[in-house]
Amino acid sequence: MEDGFLHEALLYAGADEFVDAVAAYVRAGLAAGEPVLVSLGAAKTELLRRALRREGDGVRFADMDVIGANPARLIPLWRAFAEDCDAAGGPGRGVAEPAFAGRSPAELVECQRHESLLNLAFAGAPAWRLLCTYDVTALDPDVVAGARRRHPYLSAGGTHQANDEYLGIGAAIGPFAEPLVEPLVPVVSLTFGHGPLGSLRSLVASYAERCGLGASRTKDLVLAVNEVATNSLRHGGGHGALRLWSDGGAVVCEIRDAGQIEEPLAGRSFPPKDGESGRGLWLANQLCDLVQVRTFPSGSVVRLHMRCP
């Protein structure tokens, strides 16, 4: 196995190709004594379990529909797995399908950003292998083309080969400056500055409740918005602007400020235990269904998405 992180894409057509290729990949890992972690949606997990039968007892499974609902939660999952493998004395291998039919356009954008950031997060890491699967019959061709650009290797016929279309590790930083799509519906706006954020929290709570978000999820959204707005006060010039709107059955809260977020992996690493730095975006990613972060010369934008039940 190559030294370091082997990040490969499997471009498959339909369920049979998926099962044949992924089951063989998993069996090869088990035969080599490697730990295996598979993160797929429920339907694909069931297909793979049936194919593996008792061999599947040696595989760890993580539900992509839960932990990967927000793609920003996936790097911490893989970091913990890679660290466990290294501590056990050898490489491991993973399987993931972050981009699948039914994802919203915003989610698919963040899935592609996640794939780029994986190359940065594990640059120089101990050896391990991650196979990312893409159904070419179910996904938009642009999504498949994006997968080709973000994986150093392509998997085919049980082997992997270097991918000439890979953009390189610099692509991990590029999406940080891609503009976000402007809302096509009316928005509610509020500017905030130094001082208590009570008015901001009240506005978010009342808007979310009117949209039918529910008490528990409204509480989580208010907490996430408060954390991001607090970052604006501390690091974004002392003031910011909030926008709220409803989009496709989700409440979206956007905060803009004059600060710069220079760390591409912000919010995707466990915050340090000895301070508050990095806590806000991390917490927002744990609470919200999707978090989009962008930085431009004029400042930064954080969008928080919370789906209504």
What is the rounded average pLDDT of the residues 275-297? 89
State pLDDT tens for residues 49-63: 999 999 989 999 999
Q: In the numeric block, which tokens belong to residue 306?
A: 């919370």
Q: Which residues pair with 134 in a beta bridge?
A: 11
DSSP 106-135: HHHHHHHHHHHHHHHHTTTPPSEEEEEEEE
The pTM assigned to this predicted structure is: 0.93
CA 211, CA 286: separation in Å to the nearest integer?
21
Q: pLDDT above 70 covers what percent of the chain?
A: 98
Structural domains in the chain, sorted by start: 5-176 (3.40.50.300), 179-307 (3.30.565.10)
Task: Write down the pLDDT at residue 303.
Answer: 97
Main-chain phi, psi angles of 61, to 5 degrees: -120, 140
Helix and strand numbers, DSSP H then E, in the chain: 9, 12
Residue 2 pLDDT > 70, yes or no? no
* Relative orientation angle of helices 279-287 and 215-235, to the nearest 10 degrees: 160
Give the mean pLDDT of the chain.
Answer: 93
Question: ∠ at Cα 146 (45, 93), nearest 5°?
Answer: 40
pLDDT at 46: 97
Residue 173 has pLDDT above 60, yes or no: yes
> Cβ distance 286 to 279 under 8 Å?
no
Contact 132, 115 (CB under 8 A): yes
What is residue 141's predicted lDDT score, i.e. its pLDDT? 97
Scored b (16 or more CB within 10 A) or e, 123-147 reads eeebbbbbbbbbbeeebeeebbebb
Q: What is the pLDDT of residue 275?
A: 59
Paired tokens of 166: 């890979």
